[in-house]
């Protein structure tokens, strides 16, 4: 494979990863919604007029779940859009800009087609490399934030399951 196609494919792969990262938050958001539903059910089911020691355990687990889940939600927001700031992915120039630059090269090299093509291709490769480096850094950061979010959500899911078991034990006792 030639250098140009290699860098063009790498550039396109980083933009595809960006789209994949945007889509990959759907399942974590679904799980967060389910956990909030379970926590809401546990919270509504407690008799706050007469709390027993096991109720305090349940409230503690609910509080812990809520805190860890909020951290997970924060990480999802950072992964998806960096808060309200957004992510600035690098893109290559417009077709009009490239056409103009190629015409300038053609004038500069007095229509020597091989030299014009070589310089133009090198310019495109340099542009691809700059975009790839920047976009790769963003994708790595976003992937790490999503990893941390999933970790928090899984911990919240485990604590919710423990809360469910304690809640069931309370009903039996």
What DSSP character marks residue 85? T
Residue 1 has pLDDT above 60, yes or no: no
| Sign of the C-alpha dihedral computed for residues 136, 139, 145 and 148 taken in this order | negative
DSSP letter for each residue of 80-115: HHTTTT------PPPHHHHHHHHHHHHHHTTT-HHH
Residue 111 has a pLDDT of 66
**Model pLDDT for residues 49-66, shown as the tens digit of each residue:** 989 999 999 999 999 999
- The lowest-confidence range among 4-13, 24-33, 71-80, 108-117 is 108-117
Residue 112 has a pLDDT of 74
Residue with tokens 């550039």: 11
Residue 20 has a pLDDT of 93
Residue 100 has a pLDDT of 86
Average pLDDT over all residues of the chain: 91
As a whole number, mean pLDDT of residues 118-137 equals 91
CB 141 within 8 A of CB 75: no
More confident of the two residues 84 and 35:
35
Percent of the chain predicted with pLDDT > 70: 99
Residue with tokens 């979010």: 149
Residue 141 tokens read as 């950061």
**Model pLDDT for residues 72-121, shown as the tens digit of each residue:** 999 999 999 988 888 999 988 888 888 888 888 887 777 677 777 888 88
Percent of the chain predicted with pLDDT > 90: 65
**Model pLDDT for residues 137-148, shown as the tens digit of each residue:** 999 999 999 999
| Sign of the C-alpha dihedral computed for residues 40, 44, 49 and 52 taken in this order | negative
Residue 38 has pLDDT above 80, yes or no: yes
CA distance 126 to 8: 11
């Amino acid at each position: 494979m030639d250098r140009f196609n290699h860098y063009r494919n790498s550039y396109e792969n980083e933009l595809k990863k960006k789209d994949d990262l945007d889509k990959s938050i759907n399942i974590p958001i679904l799980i967060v919604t389910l956990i909030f539903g379970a926590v809401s059910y546990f919270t509504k089911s407690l008799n706050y007029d007469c709390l027993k020691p096991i109720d305090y355990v349940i409230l503690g687990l609910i509080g812990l779940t809520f805190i860890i889940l909020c951290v997970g939600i924060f990480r999802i927001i950072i992964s998806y859009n960096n808060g309200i700031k957004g992510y600035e992915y690098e893109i290559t120039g417009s077709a009009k800009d490239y056409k103009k630059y190629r015409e300038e090269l053609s004038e500069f090299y007095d229509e020597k087609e091989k030299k014009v093509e070589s310089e133009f291709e090198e310019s495109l490769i340099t542009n691809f490399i700059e975009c790839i480096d920047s976009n790769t850094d963003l994708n790595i950061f976003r992937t790490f934030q999503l990893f941390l979010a999933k970790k928090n959500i899984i911990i919240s899911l485990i604590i919710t399951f423990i809360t469910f078991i304690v809640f069931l034990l309370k009903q039996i006792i």
